[in-house]
Structure 1
Amino acid sequence: MKVTASKSEEERTESVKSYKCLICLKSFIKRSQLTNHTFMAHTNERPYKCKVCGWTSKTLAYLKQHERLHVGEKNYQCSKCPSKFSCWSDRNKHFNQVHDNLWPCEICKRVFKGKEKLARHELIHSDLKNFVCIFCEHRSRTLPNLMSHIGSVHTREKPFPCAECPAEYSQSSSLKAHVRNAHRKEEWVHKCSVCDKKFPHQAVLNRHLRTHTGERPYICSYSGCDKKFPTQGELSRHNKSHVGEKKYICSICGNGFVTTAMLNQHAKIHDKKFSCNICTKMFPSAFFLKVHQKSHSEHRQFKCEECPSSFFIKGQLNNHVRKIHRKLRPFPCSMCDSRFIVQVKRDKHLSATHLNESVQVRDL
């Protein structure tokens, strides 16, 4: 049986979208929607003006959203991390850039963008080392790790130079990480609420926050050793000191190391090939030489806004402001009430004073 709509139903259907824009022919259910559309799409009027900077807006809602930028109000919080934003569009942009297609590792909780990257990472938690070096008996869990080993130990090749500084790398992934961490800091969106430092990922920020809280959640499982560490990586490096023969011997001082990576890291203290042309001091890298050479310059570009002091390095200025003007000591000792301006002094204090004590987490 054929069902037909009544005349009244047909009339209601026809009148559902009865308000049509005469400019673009779009239809609207309500007259108010047509009026708002005409104002927003077909006029240049911006009657709402910001009293601070003069910016103008077509709507009061947009103006109020803009004014939050001046007062620092951030009402739009990311659903995946603690980051907050002044407007919903910035929050959505952050979510798409940082959290879209993220895959967490169930073992160490690190997060990766893409299932393939997670799969490669999970190999580090496996005991399988199927990639064998053609020059020695070294075995690696992944092909990139094996290539890194061959380049750093046997061929000494570093075919991936940084275009912005003298750094060179044996892997393209290492170069990309270097560029992101050293030269693209303006893109970092994760900000520490204690010291205002910014980081590229939430996981990196979480590790950094432990420098303020003193938290060391990773505990050595070897009998008789109760050392604790802030990151899984530091615990893994420490565990190597319990196992394996120290067969990698430094040819200069005779110290032995479990891995070639540890030996190479140690060798840097002997390999000071970058010489200052003013005072002839030697440094292990171009970076340290560049930092040192600023001490010979009379140009102190980092000036304190609260007193006449000026500094060669931005870090010196930050320490000065925290110590002199803010009276801040954001790095607390996890064992006592001592607090420190910089992390390195806190770490030295821990080693000198509390080395054999059980580590506890203290509140800020």
Structure 2
Amino acid sequence: MRTLTGKKSQKCKVCGKDFICISTLILHKKFHNRGKPYKCKECGKAFSEASSLTQHLRTHSGERPYECKECGKAFSQSAHLTTHIRIHNGQRPYECKECGKAFSQVSSLTKHVRTHSGIRPYKCKECGKAFRCSSHLTQHIRIHSGERPYKCKECGKAFRCSSHLTKHIRTHSGEKPYKCKECGKAFSDSSVLTTHIRTHSGIRPYECKQCGKTFCQASQLSTHIRTHSGERPYECKECGKAFSDSSALTTHTRTHSGEKPYECKECGKAFSHSSALTTHIRIHSGERPYECKECGKAFSCSSHLTEHIRTHSGERPYECKECGKVFRQSANLTSHLRTHRGERPYACKECGKAFGSSSHLTRHRRTHSGEKPYKCKECGKAFSDSSALTKHIRTHSGVRPYECKQCGKTFSQASHLTSHLRTHSRDPVLCQNLPSSVPPVPRIQDGISAAQLCPMVGQSVWKSARPHRERFPLAVAAHNRL
């Protein structure tokens, strides 16, 4: 085998690690022969070198003796400082010969090269899952063992890997060292900045081979692929519910524990996951960074924009296998499925009333607490539900976004348009014979409504049309009296 520089590599027969120099391989073999005599008294982890133990002890003590003169950031290892300095000077000395992508450290290049070769040399003995780098396997093994050796001194929360602890500490300190050059927005995590930059560039480099859908992040693609395979490897020990994404399981677990670790400094409201807090903060700031190119409407989170775009395209990708009804949002399909099963998993602790979705329970709780977090900036009126505020704002702005394609009349609410459409769907022959109190028979609107038109073709048809007799009893009774 040849290395990235073209030199022939030497492989360790014990662990498979590659080395450029024979002398380095010989030194490495000694580590296997002499074992790991240096043991951490704090957690029991053992090392083959005293220097490795010294570095490890800093994960417990929090000591970071190597400080960056440029920004003041400190590190536990000198090698980490060297790599960090390259962020400031832009140096990326390690380039991939396959695609030209450059990296600030050789280990990052080694991991990247495996994305081309597909090599995943590190395999989990517990479940068989393979990884491109050993650190990912180490973190993964902790999912099985439950080990969380990195603990936050501020709140006691523990993590499987040190990088997750570092990111978490920033939720306390408020530090956001990664800044977008395009818009100035700052982030606490470099990977979040990388993903954010793609909102400007439009780059979605991860494509699903099954359906062609593209994603900004590899993790999003991995989760999406499970919608095709049906795989749900993350199971809740409390209720047995399974998820395709580990973060979804973490969030779900908090519905049992009631844990809401993310608190808004503005109003004190707490949330079970960080993204919900980020979206909530925009209620206070008024920030709506996601804009629809079709109509200019802006949203506080990207998922709301995605859902909104479907109102223009008419796309309803989520179909109920039970009855064929289609939805714009997966969450709406999930809630709908519960109407078939009769499932109402979200119960109010105050009065015992149960709901099919968590959002309905959240709204209901406000009837007990009297909380009205959504306030109109125009007149100060407050509402318990964001959709009620949206409707109210239209009384000030005069916006009537829902238009009847039949006659051009506009409405401020979708429900008002739905009611209006029924005035067009009244059968002209039927109307001559029925009193005005009889409700109109709904026609199919753009293929969405499941209600069918039952035209008056004879009295016998009305008597035998059982589904319509149940659905429109007043109309049937009136016809039978004719």
| TM-score of the superposed pair, with normalisation by structure 1 | 0.46
Question: Does 1 or 2 have the higher relative contact order (CA < 8 Å, sep 6+)?
Answer: 1
| TM-score of the superposed pair, with normalisation by structure 2 | 0.36
